[in-house]
Structure 1
């Protein structure tokens, strides 16, 4: 019976990595679509979000059933609680990728990126993809060096996010109001995507160390 229980815990952790892989695929396609205006890529992201949601739901159901039936304690309990919280963040990351894709679709055949900001958004997209790929590695290995990489990359994304706001609010910005709205929304989606990755990383640190308060510390993140 105990062996079956631990097989279930491994299945839950494997499912989280699978969800993260799907989220990575979504953000790769969404940011590529945003940069190029490729509406077919955007439609693919939007259509596939249901797949992420379905896997999150089934994973949560398994976790909740295990929690109710097995009444785990200590490390096993941390695995279940962390899984439920991580799945929620991953689901939200998928939603944010979908939001970026929806901006592409809403502006087609024009591009959603305002003039003068393409380089910034291209870099933000690249960093979001990097964060997503690193997060998948973290979930698969629980190697806390990946948590540190996610946090550091998030700092870079935050700087780019601030630069978008500065550019849009500057007197020299020549774009129309819809362009300014698109820029601020897209920047926020990119920034929040990375924020959720940081949140997941902190939860994995908690899972590995049992110290939630310490998950914000540099040492606990492998620095």
Structure 2
């Protein structure tokens, strides 16, 4: 019986990795759509999000089944409950990336990102995608050191977010109110995506070890 339980836990862990990779794929497509005014990429990102919704439901159902039918105790219970929390973070990452895709779709065929701030947004997108990649690696390695490193990556996003807001709120901003609103939202979406990636790393280490990374 316990062998079956641990096999089910391994399957749930594998599902989490798939979910994380899907969230990264949404962000990759959404960022490309945003920077290139690419409607097809925006639609593709939104389509992937439908898959994420299905996978989230499957993960939650699997976790609830483990709780209801396998009577986990101590460390096992911690793993299942924390996995449910990780599912929530990953699903939210997908939703935030979808919001970015929606900004690109709403402004198409115009560019939502003016040339004056394009480098900042491009760096934010690249940094957030890298964080999703790191979160995926941590789901596999369970390495506390790597999880702690996500905080450093998050600091990069925070600095870029500050730079973006500084540009948008500057007295010489000449790109209009619509662009300012879009970019304020986009910056927040990237920032929150990164915050959830940090949580994925921290929760994953806690799930495996019962300790949080320093």
Same fold by TM (over 0.5)?
A: yes
User: Which 4+ stretches in 1 moved above 3 angstroms?
Assistant: none
Distance in 1 (CA, whole Å) between partners of 2:14 and 2:115 is 42
Is the partner of 1:152 in helix, strand or coil? helix
Using the TM superposition, give the Cα deviation of residue 171 of structure 1 relative to its aligned residue in structure 2, in angstroms.
0.5
More displaced 10-residue stretch of structure 1: 175-184 or 140-149: 140-149
Counterpart CA distance in 2 for 1:146 and 1:182 is 33
In the superposition, the TM-score normalised over structure 2's length comes to 0.97
Aligned to 2:113: 113
User: What is the rounded CA distance, in whole Å, between the counterparts of 1:52 and 1:26 in structure 2?
Assistant: 9
Report the equivalent of 1:93: 93
Does residue 1:67 correspond to 2:70, yes or no? no
Write out aligned runs for 1:1-223 (5 A): 1-211=1-211, 215=212, 220-221=213-214
Residues 95-116 of structure 1, C-alpha deviation per residue, up to 9 Å, x if partnerless?
Answer: 0111000000000000111331
Q: Deviations over 1:104-140 (max 9, x none)?
A: 0000000111331100000000001100111101101
Structure 2 residues without counterparts, runs of 5 or longer: none
Q: Is the 8 A contact 2:19 2:90 kept in 1?
A: yes
Partner of 1:81, secondary structure, is helix
- Unpaired segments ≥5 residues, structure 1: none
Aligned residues: 214
Q: CA deviation at 1:149?
A: 2.5
Q: Are the equivalent residues in 2 in contact too, given 1:114–1:183 (CA < 8 A)?
A: no
Deviation at 1:204, TM superposition (A): 1.5
Return the TM-score normalized by structure 1: 0.93
